[in-house]
Every structure is written in structure tokens, then in C-alpha cells.
Amino acid sequence: MVVCAEPARADEPPSAERLKSAAEEYDRGRRAFLADDFEGASVHFESAYRDAPRAETLRLAIRARRKAKQNARAATIAAIAAERYPNDPPTAQIAKETLDETAPQLQELLIECASECAITADGRVASQTDGAKHRLFLDPGSHELGVSFKAGGSTARHIEAKKGARDTIMLEAPIVPRPSESKGTPSADPAPGANDATRAAGEKPLPPVVFYVAAGVTVALAGVTVYSGIDAKNHPGVDAVRRACAGKDTSCPEYQDGKAAETRTNVLLGVTLGAAALTAVTGIFFTRWASSPVKVGAAPLPGGGTIGAVGTF
């Protein structure tokens, strides 16, 4: 079971590399034929023909398949020879003899694809090039054909081959869904750019404005903390506490005022540093800076922390 495959076109001469490969395959085929390995010989001759088409190589492939008693393959190669070399007497003669003797025992299929396709038969590659038309010979019996289209998609056919039968099969390429199409039917089309926004949100969910607000709050807290520190130092001030509380214990009102101011400043400093850390994490790990030309920078805060943002708007 084989399919007729188009070799290299006449207007596309084989390259030096392909000519070298053809010569090597031809020599292997010749040695295999002399060793009575007829199937192996035909495989090499057919490979040589695909690399550099020559009538002589095709004739040797037909003879090797006939001697290997692989009549379906021999008939297919003979059909190629009859089509391509009708004016070469030796080739035309062996092609006609082979088809006359083998075709009545085989199922002949003419496969026409709406676009270029390739064929497999019973899980083995049958066609050797993509083409819109293929001539396939099968031994009588059950066969499974696989058809893959160059443009995409594939289909399968079960064939019950009959002796001496001749049929034509027309095949259309199946509709291949575009990669962007979903399996289900959406209730509404997404807005332009929605998918991009969703992907970006999945990576870093927060827009830059969140960072700006957090940075503003942090800077404001830093200002309040600095003011509180200055106020704690001056009101009532160390000298004033010493004068007013000389000889008294910690219940002295001036001492209590100074202690309260110091505690207030320390609390504000802790809150400011926490806000600065949270703002930095937000800016680095959770903000989509691709949507804004702003970059995270650094600025000093009370207690040694840094935070900030620079950019153009």
C-alpha cells in the first residue's frame, strides 16, 4: 500500500548535496539488489530518485518491488513512471507491463484533496510529498488511511479494499479553530486591551496611583514625626524639666509632659518606618510600572529609612 508521490520538479535541479546523496543511495540499492535484498534495494532506489529523479533509478525500484512481491508498491511506482516518462521507451514499457499485471489484483484509489495533503496507510507514511492528487494502490482487505493537510488539520478514512476496484475519494480540509478562539462561546466580547490588562493585573495587580498615595502618606508621617521630635525637645525642654523638677520625683508635671512628648515621637517614628517599608514593597513587588514612566527611587526618612519616586508625567 503506497501512494504516488511527486519527486523534485524539473525546473528545480537538485543541489550538489542531493546529487551526492542520490549517488550514495543508488550504490546502496545496487549492492542490496545483488545480495537479493530486494525490499532494501527498492527503498534505496526510491530515496535516490527523490533526491535526483532519473528514469533509470525508477525502473530499478520497480524491478526490486516486483522481485520482493510487493505489487501494490510496484504498481504505484509504475504509475509515477508512466506519467513522468511516457517518451522514454524502456521506462514506459516496464511501467505498462507492471500495471497490466498487478493492477487487476489491487484496489486503486485516486485521492483528491481540496488543498495539498499527505497520506499514511495503516500507520505508515504512504506519500512522500504534499500534493493535491495522490494515486494509491492497496492490497485487498481492511486499511486505515490518515490524511494530513499542509494548511492544518487532519482526517481519517477506513477503506475496505477490493480486488480490481477503482475508486475516487474527494477530501476537504477540516476547519481548524484559530488559536485565539476559546472552546466555549463568550457571553460578550471583551473590551479592547482587556486581556492584556488582565494578564498584567495577574502579575502585578496595583496601578501606580496606589504607590503614589502610599508614598504621600509616608512623607506626611515623616514630616509629622520630625515636627514631633523638635517639639519634644523644646517643650518643655531638658533645662526646663531640670529646673521645675529639681528635688522632685517622676510625678513632676514637666517631667511627665516631656516623657509623653518623647513617647509620642517614638510611636510616630515606628509608624513612619512601617509605612515606608510597606510603600517600598508595594512599589517594587505589586505596582505595574509598565503603565507609568515612574521609577522607584530613594529619599531619607527619620530613623535611617529611605523611600521615594522619580519620573516624568
**Residue where a domain stops, chosen among 171, 192, 222:** 171
In a domain, 180, yes or no: no
If asked whether residues 37 and 158 sit together in one domain, one would say: yes
The three-state DSSP-derived secondary structure of the chain is CEECCCCCCCCCCCCHHHHHHHHHHHHHHHHHHHCCCHHHHHHHHHHHHHHCCCHHHHHHHHHHHHHCCCHHHHHHHHHHHHHHCCCCHHHHHHHHHHHHHHHHHCEEEEEEEEEEEEEEECCEECCCCCEEEEEEEECCEEEEEEEEECCCCEEEEEEEECCCCEEEEEECCCCCCCCCCCCCCCCCCCCCCHHHHHHHHHHCCECHHHHHHHHHHHHHHHHHHHHHHHHHHHHHHHHHHHHHCCCCCCCCHHHHHHHHHHHHHHHHHHHHHHHHHHHHHHHHHHECHHHCCCEECCCECHHHCECCEECCC
Which of the listed residues 171, 188, 215 is the one where a domain comes to its end?
171
Share of the chain above pLDDT 90, in %: 33
Whole-angstrom distance, CA of residue 34 vs CA of residue 27: 11
Question: Do the domain assignments include residue 198?
Answer: no
Each residue of 84-133: pLDDT tens digit? Answer: 899 999 999 999 999 999 999 999 999 999 889 988 888 876 776 678 88
Domain-embedded: residue 164: yes
Q: What is the pTM of this model?
A: 0.52
155 domain residue, yes or no: yes
Instruction: Say yes or no to pLDDT of 2 above 50.
Output: no
Instruction: Convert the pLDDT of each residue in 164-186 to its tens digit.
Output: 999 999 988 887 666 665 455 55
- Do 26 and 165 have their domain in common? yes
Q: Is residue 141 part of a domain?
A: yes
Cell of 32: 542490496
Q: Clarify whether residues 78 and 12 are in a common domain.
A: yes
| Main-chain dihedrals φ then ψ at residue 270, nearest 5 degrees | -65, -45
Q: Do 245 and 120 have their domain in common?
A: no
Let me know if residue 179 belongs to a domain: no
Q: Give per-residue pLDDT as tens, 198-237.
A: 444 456 777 777 777 878 888 887 887 788 778 777 777 7
Mean pLDDT in residue range 150-157:
88
**Cα–Cα nearest to 159, from 120, 129, 132, 101:** 120
34 and 153 belong to one structural domain: yes
In a domain, 178, yes or no: no
Evaluate the omega torsion of the peptide bond into residue 236 and state whether it is cis, within 30 degrees of 0. yes
Q: Are residues 155 and 277 in the same domain?
A: no
Residue 216 and residue 164 share a domain? no
- One-letter amino acid of 3: V
The CATH code of the domain that includes 43 is: 1.25.40.10
Residue 42 lies in a domain: yes
Domain boundary among 118, 152, 171: 171
Count of domains in the chain? 2
Q: Does 209 share its domain with 278?
A: yes
- What pLDDT is stored for residue 214 in this prediction? 77
**Which of 63-72, 199-208, 233-242, 252-261 has the lowest average pLDDT?**
199-208
| 102 and 209 together in one domain | no
Regarding whether 135 and 216 lie in a shared domain, the answer is no
pLDDT, position 8: 47
The identity of residue 275, as a single letter, is: A
Q: Are residues 211 and 257 in the same domain?
A: yes
Range of the domain at 261: 203-310
Specify whether 7 is located in the same domain as 110. Answer: yes
281 versus 70: the higher-pLDDT residue is: 70
